[in-house]
């Protein structure tokens, strides 16, 4: 944890996990959270502010929760965080809203024990190395799929890692019909946000049109709402992304509970 002139940072594994400006609480500093926010706009209930449920697997400082509370006010938000210290820091230093219900549990254990359906599930869970092996496997993704409502969407924060990304791509394509790849443009080694949305189909042009319309709508709604403050419009954020279908790969191994630890250990994260 670091604080500097109103800027609060949560560090983990030597990396920034969350950044928040107390003086500008609507501003999203981290590019990967901006990208997750753009992916979330594809949920079919967004425009109408339909009631529903969100499950965050991994809390961090709760920055994405702030975005969801602001733009998806009819969604009940739950978060799963196994580290009680992180929960405490999010409450004390990041002003995590009391409306966010946090479960002190492991993400996979929680999904196995609870059968509730969610409209949006977000995976943003990292240990000191990467996503925990038990949250990378096809078995885990199948469990996530079971917990989604019929039109529910799944968003996962991953990294572009040369000798791991092909395995992740193969695994996501096995479980989800048409997963999408969102990343900064250009990007060969940073965050890759994967979106699984069952109502989108596999038409990149249609997805592009939908995102442009919803980014513009978000900017207009935020401008009209009192108290809105943000340094970059969502149209601008979208313009800096490269979005396409998760590509099929020939050299990808399906990640399973049996091989996830070994495949992750063999990956080069430097």
Confidence of residue 1 (pLDDT cuts 50, 70, 90): very low
> Residue 34 corresponds to which tokens in the numbers above?
């901006």
Kind plus residue range of the DSSP H or E element containing 221? helix 204-224
Looking at mean pLDDT, say which of 3-7, 53-57, 217-221 comes out highest: 53-57
Read off the pLDDT of residues 30-47 as tens digits, 9 standing for 90 and up: 789 999 999 999 999 999
What's the CA gap between 121 and 35, in Å, rounded?
A: 15
Give the whole-number percent of the chain exceeding pLDDT 70.
86
Residue 121: pLDDT over 90 = yes
User: Looking up tokens 């479960």, which residue turns up?
Assistant: 103
Closest CA to 127 of 38, 13, 205: 13
**What pLDDT digit, counting tens, does each position of 53-105 carry?**
999 999 988 889 999 999 999 999 999 999 999 999 888 888 888 999 999 99
For residue 269, the SS3 value is coil
Distance between CA atoms of 22 and 160, rounded to whole angstroms?
A: 31
Cross-strand bridge partners of residue 123: 57, 156
Range 2-265 classified under CATH 3.40.50.150? yes
Report the alpha-carbon distance of residue 255 to residue 62 in Å, rounded.
29
Q: Where along the chain do its domains lie?
A: 2-265
Cα-based distances in Å from 237 to 34, 171, 253: 7, 28, 33
**CA distances (Å), origin 267, targets 87, 91, 129, 240:** 30, 34, 10, 28
Per-residue confidence at 21, pLDDT binned at 50, 70, 90?
low
Q: Band of the pLDDT at 204, cuts 50, 70, 90?
A: very high
pTM over 0.85: yes
Single out the residue of 117, 96, 94, 103 nearest to residue 22, CA to CA.
Answer: 94
The residues that are catalytic are: 124
Residue partners of 255: CB distance under 8 A and separation at least 6: 136, 137, 138, 167, 168, 170, 171, 263
Radius of gyration of the chain (CA): 18
- Rounded-to-integer distance, Cα 121 and Cα 267, Å: 26
């Amino acid at each position: 944890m670091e604080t500097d002139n109103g800027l609060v940072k949560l560090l983990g594994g030597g990396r920034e996990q969350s950044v928040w400006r107390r003086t500008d609480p609507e501003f999203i500093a981290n590019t990967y959270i901006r990208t997750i926010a753009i992916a979330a706009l594809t949920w079919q209930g967004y425009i109408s502010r339909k009631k529903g449920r969100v499950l965050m697997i991994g809390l961090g400082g709760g920055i994405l929760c702030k975005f969801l509370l602001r733009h998806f006010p009819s969604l009940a938000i739950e978060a799963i965080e196994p580290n009680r210290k992180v929960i405490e820091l999010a409450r004390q230093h990041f002003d995590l809203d009391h409306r966010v219900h946090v479960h002190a549990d492991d993400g996979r254990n929680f999904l196995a024990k609870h059968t509730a359906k969610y409209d949006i599930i977000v995976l943003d869970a990292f240990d000191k190395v990467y996503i925990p092996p038990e949250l990378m496997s096809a078995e885990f993704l199948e469990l996530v799929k079971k917990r989604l409502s019929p039109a529910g969407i799944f968003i996962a924060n991953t990294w572009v890692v040369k000798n791991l990304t092909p395995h992740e791509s193969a695994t996501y394509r096995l479980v989800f019909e048409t997963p999408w790849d969102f990343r900064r443009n250009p990007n060969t080694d940073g965050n890759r946000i994967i979106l699984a949305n069952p109502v989108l189909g596999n038409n990149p042009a249609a997805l592009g049109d939908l995102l442009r319309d919803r980014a513009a709508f978000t900017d207009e709604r935020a401008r009209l709402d009192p108290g809105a403050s943000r340094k970059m419009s969502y149209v601008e954020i979208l313009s800096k992304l490269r979005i396409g279908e998760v590509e099929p790969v020939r050299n990808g191994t399906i990640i399973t509970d049996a091989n996830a630890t070994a495949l992750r250990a063999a990956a080069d994260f430097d």
